[in-house]
Amino acid sequence: MTKTAVGFIGLGLMGQGMAANILAKGHPLVGMAHRNRTPLEALVAKGASEATSPREMAERCDVIVLCVTGSPEVLAVVEGEGGIASAGRPLTIVDCSTSDPSVTTALAARLAQKQITLIDAPLGRTPADAAAGTLDVMVGGAEADVAKVRPILDCFAGRVIHTGPTGTGHTMKLLNNFLSMGYAALYAEALMLGRKAGLTPETFDSVIRGGRMDCGFYQTFFRWVLERDPNAHKFAMRNGFKDMSYLSAFANAAGAANPMGAAVRNAFALAVGAGRGEDYVPMLSDFVAEANGLK
């Protein structure tokens, strides 16, 4: 049985592992390079082929997976010059980016008029999970549309959760990242206050680890704090700030007060404004310490 040809745009930290798993599971894969050709060339060496534009990819594939930074990048590759929509043929787009839900739903409505189905399928977990094929995927879309792409999602997912209609996946992802970025801001501030009182990170960890406040996110965060492992959680603070800005826009559109969200966003805004946006999220602990006169 011939498997669906899959296009993949966004071979970054998450995307390269996802694409490798799609290819390994037997799907013909068409990739596209952006700034760094190395991930694409690695896939081509394993049997993938290359497209030079989103439009060319759309002409060759019935399903295209996007794993780009956010809504502006999605709009560019879908509706921009030489974009997916310009191919003028029916297909399905699976958007694994973390995007603004209002942009997603509006885009889905425009694409439906061109017989293009947009499914939002943002991701939970880390690049290591992407490589292992054990990501969490939150999927928004009609049941029949989700069922159609489920075999592709299963290539890189350990869990697939259908959240409801298009847009709900991106909403759930923002809530998920609100929790994780909130944890990061709390850990960073708590560590700083502990240091002010003479408590070392090791002492802090000896109390939290194994207790009720322990969790997977805590453990990866503290692999940086204690072991200085730069690969512990490869998610840039500028992306955390971007996601919390999307959450703020969502709350404003809903007429909801979200003071906790504002506080978390400000923690990342300060770090990004100080030029630390490319640092990974656990490094927020260093920034908060330094801002309070600690090494």
Output the CA torsion 285→286→290→293 (10° steps): 70
Residues 6 or more apart whose Cβ sits within 8 Å of residue 70: 97, 98, 99, 100, 242, 246
Q: How confident is the model at residue 295 (pLDDT cuts 50, 70, 90)?
A: confident
The predicted pLDDT at position 101 comes to: 92
Largest CA distance in the chain: 65
Query: Which tens digit of pLDDT belongs to each residue from 176-212?
Result: 999 999 999 999 999 999 999 999 999 999 999 999 9
93 pLDDT above the threshold of 90: yes
Architecture of domain 171-291: Orthogonal Bundle (1.10)
For residues 15 and 67, the answer to whether their CB atoms sit within 8 Å is yes
Q: How confident is the model at residue 253 (pLDDT cuts 50, 70, 90)?
A: confident
Query: Which tens digit of pLDDT belongs to each residue from 209-239?
Result: 999 999 999 999 999 999 999 999 989 999 9
The predicted pLDDT at position 3 comes to: 86
The predicted pLDDT at position 54 comes to: 97
CA distance 180 to 174: 10
Angle between helices 259-273 and 284-291 (to 10 degrees): 80
2 pLDDT above the threshold of 80: no
Q: What amino acid positions are annotated as catalytic residues? A: 173
DSSP the chain: -PPPPEEEE--STTHHHHHHHHHHTT--EEEE-SS--HHHHHHHHTT-EE-SSHHHHHHH-SEEEE--SSHHHHHHHHHSTT-GGGG-S-EEEEE-S---HHHHHHHHHHHHTTTEEEEE--EES-HHHHHHT-EEEEEES-HHHHHHHHHHHHHHEEEEEEEESTTHHHHHHHHHHHHHHHHHHHHHHHHHHHHHTT--HHHHHHHHTTSTT--HHHHHHHHHHHH--TTSS--BHHHHHHHHHHHHHHHHHHT---HHHHHHHHHHHHHHHTT-TTSBGGGHHHHHHHHTT--
Q: What is the mean pLDDT of the chain?
A: 95
> Tokens 């002010």 appear where?
196
Of residues 2 and 227, the one with the higher pLDDT is: 227
1 pLDDT above the threshold of 70: no
Q: What six digits make up the tokens of 246?
A: 């999307």
Strands 135-140 and 123-124 come out as: antiparallel
CA distance 153 to 130: 11
The predicted pLDDT at position 79 comes to: 97
Assigned CATH class of 6-166: alpha beta
What residue spans define the domains of the chain?
A: 6-166, 171-291
CA distance 122 to 140: 9
Query: Which tens digit of pLDDT belongs to each residue from 31-68?
Result: 998 888 999 999 999 999 999 999 999 999 999 999 99
139 pLDDT above the threshold of 90: yes
For residues 116 and 142, the answer to whether their CB atoms sit within 8 Å is no
